Structure 1
Amino acid sequence: MFVITLRFADKTKAPQLMDGHNAWIKRGFDDGVFLVAGSLQPNAGGAILAHNASPEAIEARVQDDPFVAEGVVSAEVIAIAPSRTDGRLAFLKG
């Protein structure tokens, strides 16, 4: 499982890249990799909970985000090995 943070670095380019960024997020959900996506508060960027992919595949996916490619955000990928979960999230355990 991965936590991906996307912290704003240069918001000035965000409006013209928003459609591409939203399409990138949609692809992540459509591919079954993204579980949750939302905003970092207050207005600091975004975060994504992802699974079902290798670290290399996650890193490649992150680099495909137009916001990352164009320097709108800086990305960090944190790998987590879940050992305990709520029953509803048991599928996340290795």
Structure 2
Amino acid sequence: MYIIFLRFSDNKPAAKDYMAAHNAWITKGVADGAFLVVGSLQPQQGGAIIAHAEDREAIEQRVAADPFVQENVVTPEILEISVNTTAESMRFLKDDQAA
């Protein structure tokens, strides 16, 4: 499982120019099943994504394809979590990990 932080850079004012493409990128990540949760970091610091079901290289490639990353609107940080314990409803997060 991954937590991805997309923190605004000094180029934050350009966000409006790439918002539609960024939102399409998010929609594709959700549709592909890679993104479980997408939201905003408050107050207006950027965004965060909880992702799973892809290996580190695939996540890095997906994040690099974000128009906000490509245009330096945000700086990405990817944190990988080895899931040890979950609520029963989230067990799939643990079961997806290689033994």
| Alignment TM-score, normalising by the size of structure 1 | 0.98
Q: Which runs of 5+ in 1 are unaligned?
A: none
Q: What is the Cα deviation at residue 61 of structure 1?
A: 0.2
Percentage of pairs with the same residue: 52
Match of 2:21 in 1: 20
The two structures, once aligned, show a CA RMSD in angstroms of 0.5
Match of 1:92 in 2: 93
Equivalent residue letter for 1:55: R
Match of 1:72 in 2: 73
Counterpart Cα distance in 2 of 1:7 and 1:17: 15
Q: What is the Cα deviation at residue 12 of structure 1?
A: 1.1
3-state SS of paired residue (1:53): coil
Equivalent residue letter for 1:48: I
Say how many residue pairs are matched: 94
Counterpart Cα distance in 2 of 1:74 and 1:11: 10
Counterpart Cα distance in 2 of 1:14 and 1:41: 16
Match of 1:46 in 2: 47
| Alignment TM-score, normalising by the size of structure 2 | 0.93
Counterpart Cα distance in 1 of 2:34 and 2:7: 20
